[in-house]
Amino acid sequence: MKLRIYLSVFILFFVIFTDQIIKVLVKTNMCLFDKIEITDWFYIFFTENKGMAFGMEFLGTGILTIFRIFAVGFFSYFLVKQIKQMAPIGFITCLAMIIAGAFGNIIDNCFFGLCFSESIPRNMSWDMPAQFVGMGEGYGSFLHGHVVDMFYFPLFRWPEWLPLIGGNVFFGAVFNFADASISVGAAMMFLLYYKHVSQIFSGKDKAEERS
């Protein structure tokens, strides 16, 4: 059990710390929509969004933040329960990655609006990135901060002759380290631990625990 606890704590701290360091560096060194070309298919492209992962927006920022907080609370309770039941280490890793990623974006929503000046696009009269300001003097209120995104992989463009998607970039979403942690954790969970997830939803794990 100790190994699972230590692993979970390490993943939580590593993902959250790494995610926040990247976001702060981008936000304080780049203007909104600045782009740094790493390769032809990988850019650091600074964007912000008020909604969900990968730049999607849905409902209001405050409502989504509250939903994220409740989701993290539920998954954290579930993680503790799975650790006590000695679930597979890989499954524990996936859960911790999902929780850490969600928590990383919650930090943006809760505090970035309070402690950062607003990020705006670069133009002829303005080329100053956002800066730290006194708590409560930022561009937004509690729960209404914007999530910082920066990873952009324009792998290729669809041929122009294709209907609907012709000319569009394949995987044009811009995302952050927290989004990647959530996505990888969720994908690994359902691909590698499908049977374990099925047992949980079918109630077999509870029956085995009682026996």
Catalytic residues: 149, 179
| Residue listed under structure tokens 């390769």 | 39
Helix/strand/coil for 161: coil
Report how far residue 141's alpha carbon sits from residue 143's, in angstroms, rounded to the nearest whole number: 6
> What is the DSSP annotation of 37-84?
EEETTEEEEEEEESSSGGG---S-HHHHHHHHHHHHHHHHHHHHHHHH
Report how far residue 133's alpha carbon sits from residue 116's, in angstroms, rounded to the nearest whole number: 5
Q: Tell me, what DSSP letter sits at residue 16?
A: H
**Amino acid letter at 35?**
K
Sheet holding 42-49, edge to edge: 35-39, 42-49, 147-152, 174-175
CB-CB contact of 205 with 199 (8 Å): yes
